[in-house]
Structure formats: C-alpha cells, structure tokens
A and B are shown apart, each in its own frame.
Chain A
Amino acid sequence: MKCIRAWFLRITGIVPSQRRELDFSNELASHLQMHIDDNLRAGMTPEQARREAHIKLGGLEQTKQAHREGRTIPFLETLLQDLRYALRQLHRSPGFTITAVLMLSLGIGASVAIFAFVDAALLKPLPYADPNGLVDVAEHGRSFPRSNLSYLDYEDWKHLNKVFSSLDVYTGGGYLYRTPSGVEPVRAARVSDGFFRTLGVRPLLGRDFYSGEDQPNAPATVLLSYSTWQQRFGGRGDIVGQTISLDEAPTTVIGVLPKDFQFAPRGAAEFWTTTHQRSNCEKRRSCHNLFAVGRLKEGVSVKSALADMTAIAKQLEIQYPGSNRDQGAYIAPLSELIVRDIRPILLTLLAGAGLLLLIACINVASLLLVRSEGRRRELAVRGALGASTSRLVRQFITEGIVLVSAGVLSGLAVGYGAMQILLHLISKDMMANMPYLQELGFNLHVFSFAAIIALSAIVIFSLTPVFRLPAAGLREALNDSDRGSSGTIWRRFGSNLVVLELTIAVILLVAAGLLGKSFYRLLHVDLSFQPDHLAHIQVDIPRASYDKDEKLAIVAKKILDRVTSLPGVTSATTTSVPPVSCNCNTDWIRIVGHPFHGEHNEVNEREVSPNYLKTLQAGLVSGRFFTAQDDSSKPNVIVINKAFAQKYFSGEDPLGKKIGDGDLTPKSIREIVGVVDDIRESELDTEIWPAEYQPSAQSPSAYYSLLVRTTQDEKALLPILSAAVHEVDPGIGVSQAATMNQRIADSQTAYLHRSSAWLVGGFAALALLLGVVGLYGVISYSVSQRTREIGVRMALGAARGSVYRLVLGEAGRLTFIGIVAGILCSIAAATLLRKLLFGTRAWDLPTLVGVALLLALAALLASFIPARRAASINPVEALRAE
C-alpha cells in the first residue's frame, strides 16, 4: 500500500516542479543556518562555523541531487529527457526521418501482411475438435498417389480397421434446387452419417445426421451451410423441419451448420446431404469417387494407421483382384490436404517479404551510420561535458525506439491495407477453397510477430551508431575537423552494407524473374486447341423429366441445334469434362490381343459429341472422328489421343484395334477409329495422359459441359447461351458460364503461379528501388566526404574523366560484388523454389543475365548523379571550403 503511494508520488514527480525545488533549498538553508548558529554558540569563528556546517552536511549540491532523485524515478526522468531530445533530433532532419519511417513501414507492412496469411493458413489449427487427431484417408493407385476411395472399399475399411475411432467419407455433388423463380444448380456435398461427429462440429440449429441416415432406406435430409441459411432463407429460425426440393425430391432441412464451420476440400458446398442415395459409381468397387476423414484412436500415429490400412488394402486386393489390384492406402494429416498447395507459395512470399524488410532495415541502418558520422563532434562534446558512455548509448537506443515505433505503427497500417487488397484480389471460387483465410486479420500471433520485428530493429538501429561511439578517442574526435580518418570505418563497414542490399535485391529479382518466366511458360503451354472465341457453360439436365437415355440424347441434340443457330456461332459440342481441367474421370482399359495380367491401365475418358474437334479447332492425326451416325444403335467406337497411341501401340497402327474393360466384357468392347492431337485435358502444369474419346450418344449423361465457338466476342455470348439453353427447357440447370480463356486464367494452377509471380515481382521491384537508393546514398555520401581529396586531385591536374572513373569505379566495385554474391545466393535460393517453377530451371541463364544487366544499369544510373557532382567540383572552392 505505502509502496504504491510512494511510486505514485514519484511518477507524478517526473513533472519538474519549481516549487518543490525551492522548498527544499529553503529547508537546507534553514538547516545550515541552525547549524551555524549552534557552531557560533560553541565559540567558532563565523568562517569556521560555516565551513563546519557545510562539511557535516556533505555537500550542498550532492544533497540536492540526492533529494531530487528521490522525488522521482531517475531512470524515467532521463528517459523522458532522451525522448524529448530524440524527437527534437528527428524533427531537425525531416528528410532522414521520413525516408527511414517510410522504408520501415514498407518492409514491416509487407512482412506483417504476408505473415497474417501464413498465420491464417499454416499456423492456426484447423477449427475442429482436437484437429491433430484428424487424418485424410484415400486410396493409393499406381497413377495417383492419392486417389478417390470406392464406396465398397470404404465400407470394408470402416469395419476392418483397428486404428480409427471413426471413419467417414465425403464427396462433391450438385442439385437442381427449385426456387419460386425456377430451378438453380447448387453446389452440395454428400457425406456419410458420422462426418460432422468425426470433425467434432455441431449444427448451430437443429440436429446432426442420425446414425444410419446414410443408408438407402433413410429419408432425404439436408443440413444447410450458414451462408446458405442467411442468403437463401433469410436466417429464419423456423427453417428446421421444412421441406425443400433438391433434384425434384422433397428433402427435409434438419439443421444449420455453425457460422465458423469450414471444410476446404468442399468449400463451396451450400447443401450437405448424406450418401443415402447411392450413385451408380458407388455400387461398383472399381469406381472411385470419395475421400475420407478419419479420427485416429488415442495413441495411434499416422504411420501405424497407414500400416494397418495397407494391410487391409492388401487383403482386399487378394479378395477382389479385378478391382483392387495395386490399390493401396493413403493417409496423411488432414491439415496437409488443406494447405499442401499453398504452403510453398506462402513460405516463399514470407521469405521475400523478410528479405525486403532486411533491405529496408539495412538502408535505415546505413542512414543512421551516415548521421552518426555527422554527429561525432556533438557526441564528443557531450562526452567531454560529462555524459557517460552508457548515457550516450541510451540516447541512441531511445532514438532507435522512436524511429522503430513510428515505423511499426505505420507498418501495421500498411500491412492492414495490404491484407485487405490481397483478400479482395482473391476470386470467390479460390476463396471457397481457402476458407481459413476468412479468419485473416490482426491477432496475437501477428502482433507478436510485429513485436519481434520491432525488437530486432531496435537492437540493430541502436547498435549501429554505438559502433561509432568515440570510445577512447574523445580528444581526437574533438580535434578532428571532419577530415582524414573520419571516413575509414564508414568505408569499411557502411559500404559493405550496400553490397548486402544489392545481394538481396538480386535474389529477389532472380526469384521474381524465375516465377514470372514459369507463369509465362504455363500460359504458353501447348494446348493443342484454340482457346480464343470459345465459350463454356455447364448443363445440368433434370433426371426427373429425362429419365431415359433416349430422352437425354434428344435433349442434348436440341440444345446443340439451338445453340448452333445463334448468330456468330460456328459450332458447338458437349464434353463430360471440359479441357484444361484435370487428369481425372479415368477408365481402366485392356487392349484386345495384348498381353494382360490384371494391371490397371489408367486413361482419361471423355464423352464428347461429333463436333468436339471442330469446335476446339484441334487436329486429327489419322482415321476419322465421330459422326452423328455413331449412336447407340451402332457398335461402340472410340477415338484416342497421340499419347495413348504411343503408350499402348508403339510400332503398331491403332486404327481398327479394340479395347475393353479388364474382363473384356462384350458390352465394354469398342473399336478405335481415329487418333487426335494431345488436347490438353489436364491442368496446365501436369503431363499429358493417354485419353479416349467416346461418342456421348453411345453413353448419354445428364451433366456435361457445353463448348461453343463463335466468330464474335465470346464474353458477350455467355448470357445469350444460358438463355438459349433455357429456351429448350427452363428446367435445365445452367452454371459456370465462362470463356475458355477465363477458365484457364482462373484455374488453380494459373492462379497460384500468377499470384506468386506478381507478389514476388512486387517485392523485387521494391527491393531494386531500395537497393539502388541505398547505393546512391552510399556513393553520394562518399563523394561528399572526399570533396577535398577530389579538389586536391583536380588542382594537381586530374582530368574530369579520371574523377568519373574514381567514383564510378567505387560504385562498380560494390555493384559487381553485390551482383556476383547475389547470383550465387539466388541459385541456391532458386533450388528451394523448385516446387513453384514450371518449365524453368533454377539456374535459368537468361534470367540471371537479365537480372545482372538490370541491376548494373540501375546502379550505373544511381552512381552517375554523384559522379557528375564530383566531376563538377570546383577545386578552388573545395580547398577553400574548410
């Protein structure tokens, strides 16, 4: 209690008070007076009495100082003094202050913004109960390290395993949702009954799926995502228990998922239903369409779970050799599935931002160094007047703290702005895949990160000038009239800093160059079709009204005829999966007459209409493509791509050959009638797989893509296209209207490459700017230091050309070292970047040479200005100046 009172008084005592000072000096005066009176009474002479009283007191000023310090907290008082002094110093050189704070806020802002992304994506645990116990479970095929799980395999895995306390599956899906204004295709997910219990998620409203609700005899029920509940049902509380129409089937809403629920693999799903209605695929063991989430039993590791599941898979392989050959198990932490793609990019960006911050710090540090050179005299004077070294050091630390605080505060503001901008740049579809980014923002992690940056920056900035403190050479510093030795430490130390800056700038530039080149390569990858003037929409035919294959074939023809008659349209086609999607929807084939041992020959399978080649403007290599005559009444035919021909018919003519399923079931046998170019069905950055094209008329489907070639603007065609399909039947669902070029540019591969190239490019541009500014600062400071020397040289007859050589030579030396070191480091750094590169080697020569030239040119420009200033020095004035 009394301690608090005393501290409080001392803190208020920081405000200097004239009254208290006067009060104490009166008290001391009266003390001395009384003492002198006593001494006089004791018979001393007045002089003696005075002397004795002062001696006994122990010094008037010391006592006053001790009392003064007792009135307040001495450390705090000097701190305030230092702070005032620091602010005055910074205020006196606004150019330095603004530059330093600007650089710091740029560096800190970039780092903080990127760190916030890293935190949201990689550091925060997944929002499920005990997320570390959750694993991603899938099958392991020969061509796919992580392939879908078949429903029948899942049922066996679930019953036979001893490592999971629960194992549940999910898969994507879509429904035609009936609204008062018509039908609308909606994204959905189908899950097994215990899916949400496995994740540890409870509905906000209503109930979870009952156990057994995913069995075929269970009624149709649905859980709504929070945003669907808000947007489609106005957040009404009485939604639970109501019936909605999905694919014309009455479905009961049983609950609403919590607001913060997210499941990245099915991020876009609006409706969550069970797998109670088995799709055709889910009835066959050889068809794979699911993924699973498992919760590990207490104490079971991912490794031992994998061992158990692999053993089960082996057992199934023996039991079902046809469907399960080479089908193993894949198990990894669930977090791995969610952040695998974005992790290398985020880490690269974080490294880039960190390097940028480092450049900014080095720049500010060398500015401080230059300033401390100019303040040598001031420091020497303060030292001579009695300031202790620790007091001078504290002054520097205070200045560092003021500078860094300003930098961190504005840096946080810049970071916040950058985060908002970056978030806005992410498209809605991408955002659905990265729901964890919705949590992005300032939190304890981000603030701690900023605090760590601030602390290290303070240490760097307060230590830099301390190096320059005249330790013993106080007198020399006083005598020294800014000539001779003054620049030596600077030249040894400060100029090395700029080399470091240039090195970092080179690393960032090379990284940006490589990523940019990868992105360029990615966009110019061989598609083997013409993506311009091509429009795409997804068509969803309601099975309720088109229940027969014949009806499907008829409506498909109607749609194609209607669309082809639109003005400007030259041809239209359907395909089960549009080009530039994925190596997916694959088929296991067996070639008639070739040796076969049950292996799974995986090829892409696409059902397309006769105009596929013509619409894509892709080339036929040999044989023929389908015609309208290849329908269900004719024998089955297929067309294969070149990769198929090379892999399975090397040295043979594939035309006329037959293929079928593993058992060569008569129904599955089809004849190869043509070979086409390797049309890019897969993502931009993956290899071309063998592909087979079947006439859609021979296996009609209710869900396919419509591709339309036009001579006019394909973007303007999109709304017309949707309207045309609805003219055929308003009950048909239409979605994903986009031009082919948009689809390619927005594909995840292009998206990730583009964002990393642009962001690292931005960092590199800033780094180049900061590095060149740093070089300019170093060279012009060095010129100003050597004005006299240059003056003498010129007075002794040195030509202007040799002065240029002198200055540019120094700049050239620093730049050269910086570039060489940078190139070496960036080759090392680029090997770390390998995962993000496409079609570009880590030591891509043109990029390295280009960066070296760019930096050399920028450095030449930056040093030309001070060199000109040096060459135009008037020797007479330079010598007279001091």
Chain B
Amino acid sequence: MNKSQVITKDHKTRNRRFNTAYLFIGPYAIIFLIFVVLLILISFLLSFAYYDGVNMPRFIGLTNYVTLFTQDLDFMQSALPNTIKYALIVGPVGYMLAFFLAWVLAQLPRRFRNVAAIILYSPSLTGSVLISVVWKAMFSGDSRGYINYLLLSWGIVNEPLQFLQDKTTIFIIMVFVGLWSSMGIGFLAMLSGILNTNREIYEAAYVDGMKNRFQEIIYITIPSMRPQMMFGAVMAIVSTFNSAGLASALTGASPTPQLAGWLISDHMQDYAFSRMEMGYASSLSVVLLMLVLVFYFVANHLFKSDD
C-alpha cells in the first residue's frame, strides 16, 4: 500500500464507518479491561464464594467476611494491625521524607543534586525482598551480625541481641527497610515539581513580606506543585501496600514466627497458594483494596480540597 492510498482510506473512514481511534485505544483497552478491571471484579465476586482452585466456585454469601472479622485471629491480631501500622508509618513518613529531601536537593547545585538523586533513588530500584535478605546479614542475631558486632565491640551490650526473633524489632526493621526504599518515582516527581516552580512568585511573595523558607514552602512551593504532590502521594500508597514477603525474607520463614511483620498481602498469598482457599483469599484482597482506597481518598482530600 503506498502513501496516497493510506491517506484516502483514512479520510474515507474518518467520518463514515469506522473510527480509527478504536485501533489506537483498542489493544491497550482490551488488556487493561481484562487484566485490571475484570480481575478486580472477579476478585470481588470470588470473595462471596468458596473456591479451591480446582472445583467450580460455590456461592456462600458473606461467610468469608464473617470468618474474616470474627474468627480469623491471625488476621485481626496480626495482619490487619500490622498492615495499618506499616502503612501509617512508612506511607506518610516516607512521603514527607521524600518531599523534604527533594526540597533540600533543589536548594543545591545541579551536579551534586544529580548524584545525590541517583543515590537516594537507587534503593527503590532493588527488589526489596532480595535486598532485605542482605539486611538480614546486618541484623543477624549472633555476634557475626554487623550491628551486633558493633554493639558488642563498643561495649553497649554484653551478648548479641536477637533482632530477628522478636516481633517488635522485626517490625521496626521492616519499617526501616521500607523507609530506606521509599524514594521512588514520587520523589523524582516532587523534585522536578520544585525545580519547575515559577521563581517570580517567590520574589513577589518576599516583596509582600514573606520572611523565611518555611513560609516559602507552605505558601508557595507546595501549592504550586500540588499535582506532583498528589502523584507522589499516590505512588507512596501504592508502593507501601504492594510490599509483601518482607518479614518472611528477613526471618527466613513463612509464615513468620509469631506472625511478626505479617501483612494482609502475606496472609492473602498464604491462603491463596499454600492453603488453596482462594475465595477466602479474595475477601482478604477486597479488604486490602478498600484500605488502599481509604488512603487514596484521604490523600486526595488533603491535596485537592482548596482549588
């Protein structure tokens, strides 16, 4: 087909029979609808069923949810509180840290800023599970663990601390690893946002009596990069809730001893693929998606309300 044929064909089709736009959007729309939208719908439907992965799903009403909230102690006492705690700490703290570091970087010359941005961004490139295996070497519970060795040789403790045996310390280490890897693309977006704010607004504000950098951040920087702030918040939420298997990687056991650091996503995968109770696992994933939405609406409210 030569060029002129293509053009005439296109011109003919544009207004009459077929809209070429469908060829553009079609391939993406099909995959998107099947592997994102439909999957969420199926997940929702399955949460009302008993399904073992082999036989046909059987409708059982709200039984999964009733079990979830009244009988599943592992969920109510470990997975749910752990997930909320983890999300409430790593989400907002990681997010504020990302903004703060982006802001600090923006105050420094370009060359240094680029190198520092690469360093800060690099942990989020690591598969957090693979890397947490290396954090394990740091926190190992014998005198060979690096932290323990330092504490012993400085005389702070007399015998090695069992970091990876205790529920609380495992959780703290998880938060640590989570924060360490929280400078993702949200951080890069906020950095660009700050660098692209209009200088003249700052000058005008200083003429109008703005006094310091803190006021500058509150009254100018954040309002003028609200879209990037929102993007950063969304990315922070996604990456926080997407983490599974961190505690298992740290302790080398699944489920973890005393369900330390056990998250809803871990609980869900355990039910889905170890116990083959996929209906029940789906009700867990619905709860997880609801939690994500709650966080999303809070963030949305914070950053969109006043424009």
* A and B: interacting chains: no
